[in-house]
Amino acid sequence: MFALFQELQRYVGFGEADERALKALHPLLCDSFPAVSEVFYERVLQHADARAALTRGEKHVGQLKGTLVKWMNELFTGPWDQAYVERRARIGRVHVQIALPQHYMVSAMNVVRVELRERIALVIDERSPEGRAARDALERICDLDLALMLHTYREDLEQSQARSERLSTFGQLVGSIGHELRNPLGVIETSLYVLKGRPSTDERTLKHLERIGQQVVLANEIITQLLNLIRDRPLNRGKVELAQLVAEAIASVPEGPVSFTRPPPLEVTGDAIQLRQVVVNLAQNATHFAGPEGRVEVCLTSTPTEATLTVDDSGPGIDPSIRNRLFEPLVTTRPGGVGLGLALVRRVVERHGGKVAATRGPLGGARFTVTLPLEEEA
């Protein structure tokens, strides 16, 4: 990413003169950074879709204002080196992870740009050479930072394309192995049936026959899940009342209890069975990680354009070692888990034109956020 940054620096003509101008501006402007940050988040809070990205609630905004002030301090003091670029890339990835739509980045950077531009005009004569240099330097560094932010969205898109290619190769392989395994499993099941039909009082024999039976069921279940994942059953689209669907799906999770404050009816177009599976998988994971004493909270909200489902748990949070591969098939930290639940969630959600993201949640554990478009032609 640093090579890209250097290339962009050449493109926008960012050089030592800009670095000097930014450093000279810093002491003149830094007192106004908190005010710029205020305006920035006021604007975020005015827009329902942007506000929805505040995954840790609006209370968290106070802390975010502080991070934006720090970001502005770095914007003006640099050094604009590799470490700077890596920090910026990390910030960009935070936004990708919380599923903040990319278009907000351009407008958000404009808010910063306009606010800082106005404040520069208050401390330097804009028509003087220093004034022009200051303004040019601001425009260039904002362009560069915006480019870095947008690049992280592009990285995400490329990764998701690579993922779907991998999934297609994986799918072909799994499809044929799955089908091949059904036959021997069928033979084991038949033989088991025959053996169980023979009178035996040997407890160990009975116990092992029982075990074989359980494992055959499990193996068949794994194959079914894998085949479901790769088969891409066509979506059986229809009108779905999402609030009702979520309530029913949650009620079917045996580990409960899951709290769900049911909103007014909310209609989407989609495949009810597959969407129900999404909710069940997320709720099952959440109850597992929250444990018997923990809490799981499900919330469904909507804007005119999309529905958002959040599933929060009070568990230990997402294991950092699998954070980047969380939605890939066969990745799991659940003892005995196969690692297909979340892969299926993402597949179904994306096929409905939606997105799923995982972040830290307000209950201290994980938060899964599913957004689904409300338009017909999603």
Binding site for ligand HEM (CB under 6 A): 44, 50, 53-56, 64, 67-68, 71, 90-91, 94-95, 98, 100, 104-105, 108-109, 112, 359-360
Query: Are residues 23 and 76 in contact, defined by beta-carbon separation less than 8 angstroms?
Result: yes
Query: Are residues 262 and 243 in contact, defined by beta-carbon separation less than 8 angstroms?
Result: yes
Give me the least distance between CB of 92 and ligand HEM, in Å please: 9
Give me the least distance between CB of 204 and ligand HEM, in Å please: 54
The owner of tokens 């209370």 is: 59
Query: Are residues 14 and 130 in contact, defined by beta-carbon separation less than 8 angstroms?
Result: no
In the bound state with ligand HEM, the residue whose beta carbon lies nearer, of 64 and 209, is: 64
Lay out the sheet containing 296-302: strands in order across: 259-261, 296-302, 306-313, 366-373, 355-360
Give me the least distance between CB of 349 and ligand HEM, in Å please: 20
In the bound state with ligand HEM, the residue whose beta carbon lies nearer, of 284 and 308, is: 308
In the bound state with ligand HEM, the residue whose beta carbon lies nearer, of 67 and 176, is: 67
Give me the least distance between CB of 207 and ligand HEM, in Å please: 49
Interatomic CA distance for residues 313 and 362, integer angstroms: 8
Give me the least distance between CB of 90 and ligand HEM, in Å please: 6
Give me the least distance between CB of 256 and ligand HEM, in Å please: 27
Give me the least distance between CB of 111 and ligand HEM, in Å please: 7
Give me the least distance between CB of 135 and ligand HEM, in Å please: 18
In the bound state with ligand HEM, the residue whose beta carbon lies nearer, of 54 and 188, is: 54
In the bound state with ligand HEM, the residue whose beta carbon lies nearer, of 17 and 94, is: 94
Interatomic CA distance for residues 185 and 207, integer angstroms: 19
Helix H or strand E encompassing 122: helix 103-123
Angle at 346 between CA 345 and CA 350, to 5 degrees: 120
**For residue 297, what are the CA distances in angstroms to 260, 264, 314, 364?**
6, 17, 9, 12
* Ordered DSSP codes for 217-271: HHHHHHHHHHHHHHH-PPP--EEEEHHHHHHHHHHT-TT---EEE--S--EEEE-
Helix, strand, coil % (nearest 5) of the chain?
Answer: 65, 10, 25
Interatomic CA distance for residues 103 and 47, integer angstroms: 13
